[in-house]
Chain A
Amino acid sequence: MIRFVVHRVLLIIPTFLGAALLTFTLIHLIPGDPIQMMLGEKVIDPVRKAAMLAQYGLDRPLYVQFFDYLWQVAQGDLGKSIVTKNPVWDDFFTLFPATLELAVCAMVFAIVVAIPAGVLAAEKRGSVYDHALMGAALTGYSMPIFWWGLLLILLFSIHLGWTPVSGRIDLDYYFDEGTNFMLWDSLMSDQEGAFVSALSHLILPSIVLGTIPLAVIARMTRSAMLEVLGEDYVRTARAKGLSGFRVVGIHALRNAMIPVVTVIGLQVGTLMGGAILTENIFSWPGVGSWLVNSIYQRDYPSVQGGVLLIAGLVILVNLSVDLLYGVLNPRIRGRR
């Protein structure tokens, strides 16, 4: 088991380096530079522009900039944003709780709906229910996030007035010192109605962000369950007279969870990508929209730092999934 863990952890280093190199190369390949983006149609004298670029170290050869950056990162310094002049680390972690809260709620929504749905579809295989469910999953997977979000806003927020349009909480609520996890802050505060407001603001964005993972998890659950339900030991369990619930819910589901947990881990990457669009529509102040803006503004340190941090998160989650996989499936643990 230890070898397994160590092996997995060591793999993080080349993965990180690869992510850093790829991001660095891509962002520098895009034409333009942060000074140009700030100027727009205005023109400044080339000498002054060169001086400004030099101020940010952008006049050095690319490989020098890259290795300098890696050395900086190795010491824990992600640099300063060219736009806000704040440390990238600070900018990212100010916004990260918002994205984390949304992503967790979206994932909870996806899992809570998808797994029972997938199990039921597997049990009632071939029925109308099965076809309807899988059809809905396919639709959910195919819908553009932006369109789906606007549609829900139009229906539930404007037409029916059941949910708020955007933001994390009603503008009247303000927490002086907070964790930036709105559900926690509002619950801990003594402001009436704050928690309900925070919760109501989470509904639509969670649904929108969670739709694709929901579809994928549902289908995965269904096919994993189908495979497991066909196994001999399940037939044995039924023959022994165990109740349907014990057979499906405990014995079969536990084994079906192995591929499903893997898929959930992979979906974290999708969530980070989907967060960008979802955050844009719902004016959700998270790292997704911060990252996109940084790209537009050619804010190199923010883009590089942001991608590294998100890559780190995805790597961490997948590492945990790999380790969890070892827990769920004892056969994996002892192997090389």
Chain B
Amino acid sequence: MKVRLITATAALALLLGMSAAAEAASTLRYCSEGSPEGFGPQLYDSGTTLDVVRPVFNRLVEIKFGTTDPMPSLAEKWEVSDDGLTYTFHLRKGVKFQTIKGFKPTREMNADDVVFSFNRMLDKSNPYHDVNGGSYAYFEGMGMPDKMKSVEKVDDMTVKITLAAPEAPFISEVAMEWASILSKEYADKLAKENKKEQIDQIPVGTGPFTFVSYEKDAVIRYKANKDYWRGKQKIDNLVFAITKDPAVRKAKLVAGECDIMPYPAAADIDALKANPKLTVEESPGLNIAYLTMNATMKPFDNKTVRQAINMAINKDAIIKAEYLGGASAAKNPLPPTIWGYNDAVQPYPYDPDKAKQMLEGAGVKDLSVDLWYQPVSRPYNLDGKKMGELMQADLAKVGIKANLVTYDWAEYLKRLHNGEAPMAQIGWTGDIGDPDNFLYLHGCGGTGKAPGQNNEKWCNNDYDALLKQGLETSDQAKRVEIYAKAEQLIHDEAAIVPIVHSVVFMPMSKKVQGYVMDPLGFHNFEGVSLK
């Protein structure tokens, strides 16, 4: 009885599958890795949530697909005043907001929408400021409440943003999801109906896909926005099928229930590459895994000791054992995919004998030190314990006894930021394609005292001066020079041991065309089609 039911089901499914393929509407099915926290681009900063709002919204400026370079979007052009404090954005005409059940826009996007979107976060007296918590993760995390003085409407198609101090990465920063442009008309309508919280639950934007529905923890549905100003998308429906386990995601892709998936398990990559129906795109991740050596604890206050340890760690062995080849050895504190990467820096060679000599010369004898390893899998460090064991062996070879220690992840971070770790594994995934976003982690703001995010507690006034210069000018060529110097400095001082940049893999069906890997790690479905 059961077998007959299964066979009947299979037969019916096959029939349905065939008839569905014969129909016109094309649907791209993305097996996503987790549930979003909500649908408000301003409230959240997790990659999973930002992926789900990305199809619905646009920003004034956006990053050209596949690069880290900004390009005009809702703003056709902009001017920056000479003192770097005033940005004037000229908005694009003819951009329409989406129509959803219960809301049809009566006008095109204009300055009122831009001003509303920014002021909701900036102005505490804005009626929408406290809706859904009043906490704007990225906006506040980047210090925008202090950096942005005001956002004003000049005329219907022009907006002026005034900053408190020059901020060179500002154009890249307003390309981020938190700066998405919401519809003031929609906000006003919701306020009238006393349903303000809906603004972050049922999103309305100007983007390529219109939100249709969310079945909690299961499926998110979008359909192509037929009025999209960059042109209606080739796919009619976009579906996110939330599948948390990577083994199950792979199973769905292989069985044809999904067309594209993120974050495969490292062990599955080869099998996926070998599958004739699939392609696996790859791109270097915007991340870095590194080992800290606490400069406030002896003997790590000695530069020679830090350099020696740089020569003692065998990165190739780690890449092979932990990442199964899916990573590249790092020599700088930022990945090669970002502009401003200084390729001229000569990496420390793997030379345990020389390292041992240098340590002895520095008077390091019978050193026993705690080496903290990460307890959770991170995109830049898949298996902290394994990396820890390999590092322990490497250090033993040069006469250092490393004791492996770990804590619960939240505790680990708290203590690490507090400066309690002698040596610790940590890493960083970039938010924006700006070198400062990686380099600021190693600065002390000129105070000589390392802040929380400076995990190795290393301070250098020259480095801080370079970082400050880098932020003061918007001239990219000049900034490249400044950051090249900073990277050489941090390398010579051996402030950290850069380990690897992990590779990001994206398996998909061969039917998927036009998918571009994003160096910032986001998943972009604009411009994708199905064969």
Interface residues, chain A, CB within 8 Å of chain B? Answer: 30-33, 36-44, 48, 52, 55, 83-85, 91, 94-95, 98, 150, 153-154, 157-158, 161-168, 170-172, 174, 176, 192-193, 196-197, 199-200, 203, 280-283, 285-286, 289-290, 293, 298
Are the C-beta atoms of B252 and A285 separated by less than 8 Å? no
Cβ contacts A to B, 14 pairs, < 8 Å? A31-B408, A40-B413, A43-B417, A43-B452, A85-B133, A91-B216, A95-B216, A150-B248, A153-B251, A166-B252, A174-B221, A176-B213, A199-B9, A283-B218
Residue in A42, A200, A282, A293 whose CB lies within 8 Å of B13: A200
- By the criterion CB–CB under 8 Å, are B244 and A289 in contact? yes
Once the chains are docked, how many angstroms separate the CA of A150 from the CA of B133?
40
Determine which of B35, B200, B248 lies in contact with A281 in the assembled complex, contact meaning CB atoms within 8 Å.
B248
> A203–B133 Cα gap in the complex (Å)?
41
Contact in complex: A43, B453 (CB < 8 Å): yes
Which of A33, A154, A167 is within 8 Å of B241, CB to CB? A167
Q: Contact between B411 and A171 (Cβ–Cβ < 8 Å)?
A: no
Contact of A161 among B10, B141, B221, B417 (CB under 8 A): B10
Contact of A165 among B218, B248, B409 (CB under 8 A): B248
Per a CB cutoff under 8 Å, which of A33, A43, A158, A280 touches B251? A158
CA distance A31 to B412 in the complex (A): 10
B216 close to A285 (CB less than 8 A): yes
Q: Is B27 an interface residue (CB 8 A)?
A: yes
Residue in A30, A162, A293 whose beta carbon sits within 8 Å of that of B10 in the complex = A162
Closest to B12 in A: A196
> Which among A48, A95, A196 has the greatest number of chain B C-beta atoms within 10 A?
A196
Say if the beta carbon of B445 comes within 8 Å of chain A: no
Could you tell me which residues of chain B, from 213 to 232, have a CB within 8 Å of some CB in chain A?
A: 213, 215-219, 221
Q: Is A171 touching B219 in the complex (CB atoms < 8 A)?
A: yes
B37 to A84, Cβ gap below 8 A?
yes
**Count of chain B residues near A, Cβ 8 A:** 60
Residues of A contacting B221 in the complex (Cβ-Cβ under 8 angstroms): 174
In the bound complex, residues from chain A placing their C-beta under 8 Å from that of B255 are: 157-158, 161, 164-165
CB of A48 within 8 A of CB of B140, answer yes
- Cβ of A285 and Cβ of B6 under 8 Å apart? no
Q: A85-B38, A172-B20, A283-B243 given as contacts; is B410 within 8 A of A36 (CB)?
A: yes
| A-B contact sample (4 more), CB < 8 A, given A85-B200, A168-B218, A172-B16 | A42-B141, A52-B135, A167-B241, A282-B248
Complex Cα spacing A283 to B243, Å = 5
A163 touches B410 (CB 8 A): no
Question: What sequence of 0s and 1s flags, for each residue 133-147 of chain B, a beta carbon within 8 Å of any chain A beta carbon?
Answer: 101010011000000
- Compute how far the CA of A218 lies from the CA of B215 in the bound complex, rounded to whole angstroms: 37
Closest B residue, CB atoms, query A178: B215
Given contacts A84-B37, A158-B255, A283-B245, contact A95 B217 (CB under 8 A): yes
Question: In the complex, which residues of chain B have a beta carbon less than 8 angstroms from the beta carbon of A200?
Answer: 6, 9, 13
Whether, in the assembled complex, B247 has its beta carbon less than 8 Å from a beta carbon of chain A, the answer is yes
Q: Is B172 an interface residue (CB 8 A)?
A: no
Do B251 and A165 have beta carbons less than 8 Å apart?
Answer: yes
What is the 8 Å Cβ interface bit string for chain B, positions 405-442, against chain A (1 contact, 0 not)? 00111110110010000000011110000000000000
- Determine the distance from Cα of A200 to Cα of B8 in the docked complex, in whole angstroms: 10
Question: In the assembled complex, how far is the CB of residue A166 from the closest CB belonging to chain B, in whole angstroms?
Answer: 5
In chain B, residues 185-235, which have Cβ atoms closer than 8 Å to a Cβ of chain A?
A: 197, 200, 213, 215-219, 221
> With the chains together, A281 CA to B414 CA distance in Å?
32
Given contacts A42-B453, A85-B132, A166-B252, contact A285 B410 (CB under 8 A): no
Q: Which B1-59 residues have a C-beta within 8 angstroms of A?
A: 5-10, 12-13, 16, 20, 27, 29, 35, 37-38, 45-46
Residues of A within 8 A of B63 (CB): none
CB distance from A51 to the nearest CB of B (A): 9
Do B251 and A157 have beta carbons less than 8 Å apart?
A: yes
Q: What residues on B are CB-neighbors of A283 within 8 Å?
A: 218, 241-245, 248
Q: 8 Å CB contacts to A: which residues of B140-162?
A: 140-141
B413 CB contact (under 8 Å) in A36, A95, A199: A36
Q: Does B326 contact A (CB under 8 A)?
A: no
A162 to B5 Cα, complex, angstroms: 10
Closest chain B residue to A298, Cβ basis: B410
